[in-house]
Structure 1
Amino acid sequence: MAVQFGHIAGYPTGSPFKNREELRIAGLHSQNMAGISGNAKTGADAIVVSGGYVDDADYGEIIIYTGHGGRDPNTGRQIRDQELIDSGNAALVRSELEGLPVRVIRGRHNKRHHQSPFAPSSGYRYDGLYRVESHWAKMGVDGFRVWQFRLVKLKDGEVSTPKDTSPASIDQYAVGPAPVTTSIMQRIVRNSMIAHIVKSWYSHECQVCGLAIQVEGGLYSEGAHIRGLGQPHHGPDVPENLLCLCPNDHVRFDNGAIYLTDELHVMDALTGQAVGQLRVHKNHKIDLRHVAYHRECWTKD
């Protein structure tokens, strides 16, 4: 079955289903057993949230979803580390990187772990489209490494018609300006002045590579939080938790391709080797607790 993103015609948000087979036949989720529908190449188009993992957390419009793998099918507990290369986990990462919508289907929660007030009392329910905002690793409740994904619900109008990922001719797509819709989203309010102060210390030069990007309006850099804001990280919006990075190193840092030691060596996650020393201005007091938290999200050390 081709991966298909967005709503499925004929099944509005709130549509109920008796079982996984009905979901599969309707085209909302391609798997009868696995929680993640999709693949690493094209992305994840749907997930089932049913409380199967003890580390899951469902806040309604925000879901902390534990990835696939390492679970004992009989007890539901983790018995080994999860891997990001597993197709389901890698599919969710691809959806995050490409900004692809994910259909969320909630199932009745068993009493093995915890009950969610947002779960249906029986069967399954399609609960709309979410975006994968971020992902990280952590030591789970059962003592094994798990990958987790923060999903945030999309408002009506943020995603229009479904898109099939099969190859298509450019002639199929309409010519003209993209449609514009009005929507309201809940976002964490960041203090722009804090980022401005940190960037000014470095004259917009990246603390990792030293690059300062020149654009028409002047120099450009990005403020990168070491410990993420919002659930479940709850990092503070303060200079001690902020870095001045170029866009490339910001993406690499946020996705675990590079991380920092307590000595502020910049480490390459693939090789495990130091690739440089973080540049630190005399006024910039980086909190090593946030550095350690970020590192633990991406390494087993």
Structure 2
Amino acid sequence: MGHHFETRKEMMPSSFHRVWTSGIDGNGNEGTAAIVLSGGYSDDADYGDEIIYTGAGGNKDGKQISDQSWSQPGNAGLLTSMDQGLPVRVVRGHKHESERSPKSGYVYAGLYNVVDAWEEKGKEGFKICRFRLVFSDQNLEPKIAEPSLDYTKKPTERRTGTVLRIARDTEKSRQIKKLYAYQCQVCGTAIRTKSGFYAEGAHIKPVGRPHDGDDSVDNLLCLCPNHHVMFDKGMFAVADDYTLLGDAEGKLTVNSAHYINLENFSYHRITHGYD
């Protein structure tokens, strides 16, 4: 980490970054080996241990002129890296607007994991593919909160240490799982283990940056691991009347005591191309 390259061509002989003309070195079959932050996309955001990265396509001279597509090789590569847990080398260039960027040339920033992908309308009004990458040493630490069912919306804690960590209020997740007796709201499955039943609390609008969803019971679902992964990756969505869309059929089971903020479902549908 910290290795300096004068030009992008210097990265090619060692296969550090094999594509001279593209910021993404990768494809849907192999995943992405490396990306370069070069200031080419106005929607990018660099927080150091966390990067919000705009995918490839539809850009000319730093401005978006057409929609991006998930089938574009670079974008498909980042999706594969996310699905398979493959780390990505990140390189910052001198044209990238960040205090961490070099004054000249390019500097290796380390290994990052792709942890989220979604689509949104960019500053120029065109659809863009977005990715969230976190430094490979990042961990998520649970924070135990007070018991009892409550709908308060506490801001997500960000603790400064070696890396940036997001503390999630796991007690509210436990409340939702107990309310549904650990049965998935999509398929009704309750997974039996030696210590009881298992389910997962799934945020509808992600808590992490840049989505900044509330860690509240009105933003949580009780899902089995399969449907949790499918929901997070946009393989299905939920309409305002709880009808399941995409690769799931039927209606979401909703307990009368569980109020869900429908704006969160709308946000999820928009970011995954259902609206």
TM-score, scaled relative to structure 2:
0.88
User: How is 1:238-249 mapped onto 2 (pairs within 5 angstroms)?
Assistant: 238-249=216-227
> What does residue 250 of structure 2 align with?
276
Does the aligned pair in 1 maintain the 2:26–2:77 contact within 8 Å?
yes
Q: Distance in 1 between matches of 2:164 and 2:93?
A: 25
Give the deviation of 1:76 after TM superposition: 2.1
Equivalent residue number for residue 93 of structure 1: 79
- 1:14-40 superposed Cα distances (whole Å, 9 cap, x missing partner): 111111110112321110011111221
Opposite residue 152 of structure 1, the aligned amino acid is: V
Question: What amino acid does structure 2 have at the position aligned with 1:107?
Answer: G
Question: RCO (CA 8 Å, sep 6+): is it higher in 1 or 2?
Answer: 1
CA positional deviation for 1:230 = 2.0
Count the aligned residue pairs.
Answer: 253
Structure 1: stretches of 5+ with no match in the other structure: 1-12, 157-182
Q: Contact 2:205–2:211 (CA<8 Å) still a contact in 1? A: yes
What CA distance in whole angstroms lies between the structure 2 residues aligned with 1:55 and 1:23? 25
1:133–1:150 Cα contact (<8 Å) kept: yes
Which residue in 1 is equivalent to 2:11?
A: 23
Which one-letter code corresponds to 1:57 in the other structure? A
- Aligned pair 1:42/2:16, yes or no? no
Partner Cα separation in structure 2 for residue 123 and residue 300 of structure 1: 41
Deviations 1:203-252 (A, max 9, x none): 11111111111122221100100111121011111000000001110010
Question: In 1, distance between residues paired with 2:196 and 2:29?
Answer: 37
User: Quick one: which amino acid aligns to residue 104 of structure 2?
Assistant: S
Q: Which residue of 2 aligns with 1:78?
A: 64
Question: What is aligned with 1:141?
Answer: 123
Listed as ranges, the gaps of 5+ residues in structure 2 are: 139-160
Cα offsets for 1:25-64 (capped at 9, x unmatched):
2321110011111221121111001121111111111100
Structure 2 vs 1, CA of residues 155 and 98 (structure 1 numbering), >3 Å: closer, same or farther? same
Shift of 1:187: 2.7
3-state secondary structure, aligned to 1:199? helix
Q: Which structure 2 residues correspond to residues 1-301 of structure 1 after superposition, within 5 A?
A: 13-72=1-60, 75-109=61-95, 115-155=97-137, 185-268=163-246, 275-299=249-273, 301=275
- 1:76 and 1:18 mapped to 2: Cα distance? 22
CA contact under 8 A between 1:221 and 1:245: conserved in structure 2? yes
Give distance in 2, aligned partners of 1:124 and 1:236.
Answer: 37
Structure 1 contact 154–185 (Cα < 8 Å) conserved: no
Give the AA of the match of 1:77: K
| Structure 1 residue 291, shift from structure 2 partner | 1.0
Distance 1:186 1:205 in 2: 33
Amino acid at match of 2:98: S
Letter aligned with residue 61 of structure 1: D
**In 2: Cα distance, 1:117 partner to 1:280 partner:** 47
CA contact (8 A) 1:69 1:83 kept: yes
AA aligned opposite 2:109: D
Superposition CA RMSD, Å: 1.7
Structure 1 distance, partners of 2:31, 2:13, is 20
Asked if 1 retains the 8 angstrom alpha-carbon contact of 2:39 and 2:62, the reply is: no
* Kept in 2: contact 1:50–1:119 (CA 8 A): no
TM-superposed deviation, 1:185: 4.9
